[in-house]
A and B are shown apart, each in its own frame.
Chain A
Amino acid sequence: MDIQILFEQLINGITQGSVYALLALGFTMIFGTLRMVTFAHGEVYMIGAYVGFEVIRLLHPSFFLALGVALAATALLGIAIEILAFHFLRDAPHATSLLVTIGISILLVNLAQLIWGPETQSLPYSLLDKMDYGEIQIGGIYISYLQMTVLGVTVLLMALLYILINKTKLGMVIRATAQDYEAAYAMGVGVNGIFMVAFAIGSMLGGVAGVLVGVYYNLFYPTMGGLYGLKAFSASVVGGLTSLPGAVVAGLIIGIVETFSVEFGASNFRHLFSFLFMILILLFRPGGLFGGRELIQARGD
């Protein structure tokens, strides 16, 4: 195979994978702090995409304005989900919260169907032309500006998240809550607020991923979150559910493997890989790629 095509596919794979990584980071952020799985994350992503779609369509064809509004909207949505599914059910078994998030995800998909209709929508090209849609050539390899934007935003967000978690006071508090929320509470941390903040951050990552994918492929439909959410979820499991670097690496691996599977003629089964990875990791290395020795015990389980 041509080495240039190989490189272009690699870039495609990384672009795809970085979006999985963003979503998986959201899952990991939420599970890491609350020790609870949310299944509404894919739908948060979908809502983020639609918010971006409406901003570009109605307000102003600017990619970054769309990102900003989607960030705010999904942060609010995340807080709402946290209150509904976790805040009221803090003492309930894990399964209860899980079922509520499943219910919320069903509700969100159907609400989106009511609002935007079940059909696939796209942004008109007249609007897209106002945004940068060129491509540059580096040594015979074509990379579009859009791809670079997607990659740039992803890398920027990951860096911001890294600084937030590791270098700031808020990050320290989040880490303390993640380690042992009861001890953190005893030390005077407002645990409920921290749970909400963690959930909001996770949801914002999902919302950004939604805008990125929505504009990248220019396809918006109510069920767009389903498969993406589940794939990102398996990426997060592969990464170890609590490890942020693990989520990024797993997301990238899944994106690259998927893209190359299309190139090598297994396009029908490309959606399968993430779930196979997840099952394999669960079987042989349940701690995740970089997982620690101890099994992660879900709280209240």
Chain B
Amino acid sequence: MTNVLRQTLANLPYLAIVAIMALLPLVISNQYYIQVLIFIGIYIILALSLNLLNGYVGLLSIGHAAFYGIGAYASAKLVMEAGLPFPLAMLGAGVVAGVFGYLIAKPTLRLSGIYMTMATLGFNMILFLVLQNWMSFTNGPLGIMDIPSPSIFGYAIESLLQYYYLIFFLVLLTIVSMQRLMSCRFGRALVSIRENELAAEATGVNTTKYKIQAFVLAAFYAGIAGSYYAHFVKFVSPDSFYIYESFILLAMLAFGGQGNLAGPVVGAAVLIIIPEVFRFMQEYRMLVYGGILVVMMLVRRQGLLGGRNYSLRLPWFDDQQKTIYTRGDKFLPEDDT
């Protein structure tokens, strides 16, 4: 009992943050701030899903917005044309994105990492061009309009506050599920692949299988975020899923740091807030993202919070905390990075 108490105390900062985030929209009367918070939520899920690949497995995906887009279009189509209820459509969007992820990952992950990087880029471009030109299915550059607002088992979500709590719930679900994933065999296998692929293979990790699983999983999370985006903005167009969107995600990881769960969250939050604060440079927000990419890589390569593990302790699941190796751990040989 005291053990549980102690571990709860150790988690107090996280619990406090969750409590503050849960109560925040009740205090804020400005709708605009809540909208910004919702976008931060969407990007937290996206950054975390990309982090699964770039941070944990050490693969570099530079076309992640493709899966975000697939999720958004799939969800819109499933609700509007197949008539599925929102929760099923959201799940379906994730699954569709995951299937596409499998199709990309399966053939390219046999090869060395750079090929997968190029394939993700090519896939992002192909998806954008298909979305823009397949008039009969995607309505081309005009996009799909009037996407219905979500209703979960008859409970309609219409106000910004309700939207906020939905994304809040999704973000919490993402963080907790990723934390669980990363502290089981799957997560440790991924980290071992990042640290030393040869050694991982030698100790019995089926590296290709785990890489494909990680890729599909990342695509699934991105698809979920896309589904939420479609039903929140109620409008999807190809422009929202151009490679620049992928680059923004990369900038978030570069800024916040990758390989743990805190970095992408911080990166997403800061990089969404910066252009909102400096409204006068709204038009040149990409300038900020580009600058952050260059400066962070040159000055602090691992990002603000990168290079270590911020363990979230969940006494309700774990008997004892298992350590996750991160780069620079004293048990690992110093590599030249």
Is there a chain A Cβ closer than 8 Å to B328's Cβ?
no
Q: How far is the CA of A238 from the CA of B60 in the complex (A)?
A: 20
Binds B, one of A7-15, A48-56, A265-273: A265-273
Q: How far is the CA of A104 from the CA of B85 in the complex (A)?
A: 44
Q: How far is the CA of A85 from the CA of B295 in the complex (A)?
A: 10
Q: Is the CB of B122 within 8 A of A279?
A: yes
Q: Is the CB of A268 within 8 A of B287?
A: no
Proximity string of chain B (18-38) to chain A, C-beta cutoff 8 Å, 1 when within and 0 when not: 000000000000000000000
Q: Which residue of A lies closest to B292 (CB)?
A: A103
Q: With A91-B336, A96-B297, A279-B119 in contact, do A103 and B126 touch (Cβ < 8 Å)? A: no
Proximity string of chain B (105-126) to chain A, C-beta cutoff 8 Å, 1 when within and 0 when not: 0011001111101110111011
Q: How large is the interface on A (under 10, 10 to 19, 20 to 34, 35 or more residues)?
A: 35 or more
Binds B, one of A17-25, A106-114, A148-156, A176-184: A106-114
Tell me the minimal C-beta distance from B332 to chain A in angstroms: 15
Tell me the minimal C-beta distance from B50 to chain A in angstroms: 12
Q: Is the CB of A114 within 8 A of B284?
A: yes
Is there a chain B Cβ closer than 8 Å to A93's Cβ?
yes
* B294 partner, pick from A103, A114, A233, A295, beta carbons under 8 A: A103
Q: How far is the CA of A262 from the CA of B51 in the complex (A)?
A: 40
* A278 partner, pick from B122, B287, B290, beta carbons under 8 A: B122
Q: Is the CB of A301 within 8 A of B247?
A: no
Is there a chain B Cβ closer than 8 Å to A37's Cβ?
yes
Tell me the minimal C-beta distance from A28 to chain B in angstroms: 14
Is there a chain A Cβ closer than 8 Å to B254's Cβ?
yes
A-B residue pair count with CB separations less than 8 angstroms: 120
Q: Which residues of A contact B312 (CB under 8 A)?
A: none
Q: Is the CB of A104 within 8 A of B290?
A: yes
* B284 partner, pick from A110, A233, A269, beta carbons under 8 A: A110
Q: Which residues of A contact B290 (CB under 8 A)?
A: 102-107, 110
Q: Which residues of A contact B114 (CB under 8 A)?
A: 37, 94, 298, 301
Q: Is the CB of A89 within 8 A of B250?
A: no
Is there a chain A Cβ closer than 8 Å to B144's Cβ?
no
Q: How far is the CA of A109 from the CA of B286 in the complex (A)?
A: 9
Q: Which residues of A contact B108 (CB under 8 A)?
A: 282-283
* A102 partner, pick from B62, B107, B113, B284, beta carbons under 8 A: B62
Q: Is the CB of B118 within 8 A of A237?
A: yes
Is there a chain B Cβ closer than 8 Å to A207's Cβ?
no
Q: Which residues of B contact A219 (CB under 8 A)?
A: none
Q: With A95-B60, A282-B108 in contact, do A103 and B297 touch (Cβ < 8 Å)? A: yes
Is there a chain B Cβ closer than 8 Å to A230's Cβ?
yes
Is there a chain A Cβ closer than 8 Å to B301's Cβ?
yes
Q: With A94-B114, A286-B115 in contact, do A272 and B126 touch (Cβ < 8 Å)? A: yes
Q: How far is the CA of A93 from the CA of B58 in the complex (A)?
A: 10
Q: How far is the CA of A168 from the CA of B125 in the complex (A)?
A: 39
Q: Is the CB of B294 within 8 A of A298?
A: no
Q: How far is the CA of A78 from the CA of B250 in the complex (A)?
A: 23
Is there a chain A Cβ closer than 8 Å to B323's Cβ?
no
Is there a chain B Cβ closer than 8 Å to A133's Cβ?
no
Q: Which residue of A lies closest to B106 (CB)?
A: A283
Question: Which residues 63-102 in A have Cβ within 8 Å of B in the complex?
Answer: 84-85, 88-89, 91-96, 98-100, 102
The 10 residue pairs across chains A and B that have the minimum distance between CB atoms: A103-B293, A106-B290, A103-B294, A268-B133, A298-B114, A107-B290, A110-B287, A275-B122, A95-B60, A103-B290
Q: A271-B125, A282-B122 are in contact. List 13 more A-B contacts (CB 8 A).
A: A96-B301, A98-B60, A104-B294, A106-B247, A106-B293, A107-B294, A110-B284, A237-B118, A278-B122, A279-B119, A279-B126, A282-B111, A282-B118
Q: List 20 A-B contacts (CB under 8 A).
A: A37-B114, A84-B298, A89-B297, A92-B301, A95-B54, A100-B297, A111-B287, A233-B121, A268-B133, A269-B129, A271-B129, A272-B129, A272-B133, A279-B123, A282-B111, A282-B115, A296-B112, A298-B113, A301-B112, A301-B113
